Structure 1
Amino acid sequence: MILHVDMDAFYASVEQRDHPELRGLPIIVGGSPNGRGVVSAASYEARKFGVHSAMPTRQALKICPDAIVVRTRMQTYVEVSKQIRKIFADYTPVIEPLSLDEAFLDTSGTEHLFGGPVEIGHLIQDRIREELELIASVGIAENKFLAKLASDLEKPAGFTFIDPGKVIETLAPLKVEKLWGVGKRSVERLAAAKLFRCSDLQSLTLEAAQVLIGEKFGSHLWHLARGIDNRSVNSNRKAKSVSRERTFRQDISDWEYIQNRLLELCESVGATLRSKKLKGRTVNLKLRFADFRTITRSATLTEPISTTQVIWETANKLLSKEMPGAGKAVRLVGIGLTNFEAAGPRQLMLFDVQSVNCDIEKTGDNAGARPGKGAGARHDNEDRQLGDSSEASAEQSVVQATRRDLASNSASQQAVEAAADAIRAKFGSEAVRRGSTLDREQRLQSEG
């Protein structure tokens, strides 16, 4: 059997645990309401008012004016997540983490040791409550889809077991949005086909579902509506990327402001990489403009990196190529690292011109692009190599500048980053901030 364990209001619950005076109060974990802060998590007391993640903090305080805003302490949440996984490991080695606050567990090989999946689920839930003073919801079923669905049925502190013999009747009354992969647009599409609940899909043949909503999507939903999911728990699953992005409340054309927000995102990505003892070779920048046109820029380095300074300077060089042409309003900025390897000592080839290879790629949705050579020959979001001379020049400039930056990826800088991470973990994300960001915000406040 498969267990899905999902921590309830994880970030907010950790804050209420560490600060008992906050228990029972509406808590918002996230950015400051004085700027363009966004809600990362909300306690159940705040959710009753309609507060949810990704909502602007300022808007959240309008609908829940008594809420208390607490700064995000990502390093703390990472450490608590490790403690939770240690509890999981006492009952099975087959664990597939999905995020800091949820994971799949396959207990098939250890059920005889602990009395069965239901008993294991109760043991895990009880230990999380008693040892960590946190609440988890547990779902148990014969596959991953059903287990995850079950954990969400009775939150918070839920415990649901879906009997293999009662899958069809359990799913039948559920709305189609409960099915994995169904979002707002899909709900509208299914409604147009008069498919509102799982029972509607269950009444169709596979062929009829494919005719109504498409061959691939129809097959996907038809099987899920019957509780069919053949995916196994993958305990070797590793993160393929670490990324952060921010959507602005208003479209922004102030590039200095965008640079400072990008720096904050680089701080978060760097801290996550270091906590996981990972380094990445490829830095990915994402921009979405006011007209919803989306582009990405990538720089692939010979030497893997994890220090915030190098991530930031590499990303900023990519960003600088988009700055010319004043008036470009940006809706979203994002940064990520991919192409990982475990962190460890490396010999940097500081004096070899070829030691840094920086391949720049770009993608875009081609919104408003005119048909021409190659039009329609590639997917809108398909990566493509830059080819003209100006783009080649941009590549060379990044290569030359990044060579110098890699030299700064030294033991001393890593020690500074580690110290800053430790301070933020204890005192909050705002306890240590880089001068460029702080100076910029102080100047804006003085001007305001």
Structure 2
Amino acid sequence: MTLQLADLTARMLEAARRAGAEAADAVAVDGTALSIDVREGRLEQAERSEGIDIGLRVLIGRRQAVVSSSDARDATIETMAQRAVAMAREAPEDPHAGLADPSQLAHDTDSSRLEMYDPAPEPDPAALEEDARRAEAAARGIDGVTQVQGASAGYGRRRIHLAASNGFSGGYARSDRAISCVAVSGTGTGMERDWDGDSRIFQSELRSPEEIGRLAGARAAARQNPRRPRTGKYPVLFDERISSSLIGHLLSAMNGAAIARGSSWLLGRKGDLVLPEPLSLIEEPHRPRASGSRLFDGEGLPTATRMLVEEGVLTGWVLDLATARKLGLESTANAARGTTSPPSPAVTNVRLTEGSATRDDLIAQMGTGLLVTSLIGSTINPNTGDYSRGASGFWVEKGEIMHPVNECTIAGNLRDMLRSLVPANDARQHLSRIVPSLLVDGMTLAGD
């Protein structure tokens, strides 16, 4: 399959050359996705999709255009190339557009050591249905659970190949296997829901359906009879399930596209403290069995482990070639590429320094405050870092969880929030973003 995709991208590049492109790159993606949903012990939905997507970017001078299709026939590819060249000739000039210099390209493209693809056979739909049934049954067995909104199991695999007229050609395969369950407690207007799920590259590492169902049920049952918290300023503990969203806001502000637009609250802060001094944020693109791993980026540049934040200090930006050129810098090999648009900057896997305290230790340390387990909505000002989100979770008094809460808003400024982080030691190591529970001091809660 990889050789077929390599041949396909080569055909696209040759078609672009014949159509008059001065330079081009091509992406081909094929894959299979299978999902099974179960409700009330019965099969609710079964979906399977198979297909191929191709994308071609052509450049004429500093003008570029992108076209895509799900038809890989020769005639379609010829038409794509002709249309792309015609579009590029009419496109506005972008002084920063262009392929990588051949000297910049990755030479190590054998991604097998990253273990991103499980060679085990594709699971039978009946096996996926059985997993979903088992998860649902386990959730129903928890006291307080009144219904299970749904249980799902799925499998996916895809293969990607990138080639360019500068001589780059490389591809890789990915797979994933997942189970999830959503449970509900209470009735009528008093219903509360929660969930659990797991997704792994290797099927053998997936947690059992029973464990997932039981945890979804226990979480839903624990949310019964919530109250609104008191309005005021309190410490907030972001549970590990949602703590990576805070780091996600930091990564968004570090994105070279935002920096080049001047629309980031981190603008001008390279070399400043953005996290507490003991904490580092590391990008790990070569971590085995992680969903974001890759040896080369979407422009064919070699990736490498690097410090995004080193002992609290912001080291730089997340850049692809175009944003690097705009800023007068070098690409950090963070280009991501789909079939429908040009490359743009994006991180791979990241890891935040963990602390020595457990989540329970941080609950005891916070005294009175809020443990957040779910976030809804979002009002984030990218220019100022002002942060406001709807939240639910559990109220903490004197270091102990007292009762569930909902219908509240937490607010602060990301500059202050991130500088006050206290991490726990409970991060799940298989995730692409390894981020533990995070305690933030002095956020504003709007409740009763």
Point out which structure has higher relative CO (alpha carbons under 8 A, 6+ apart). 2
TM-score greater than 0.5 by the shorter chain: no
TM-score normalised by structure 2 residue count:
0.21
TM-score normalised by structure 1 residue count:
0.21
More strand by share: 2
More helix by share: 1
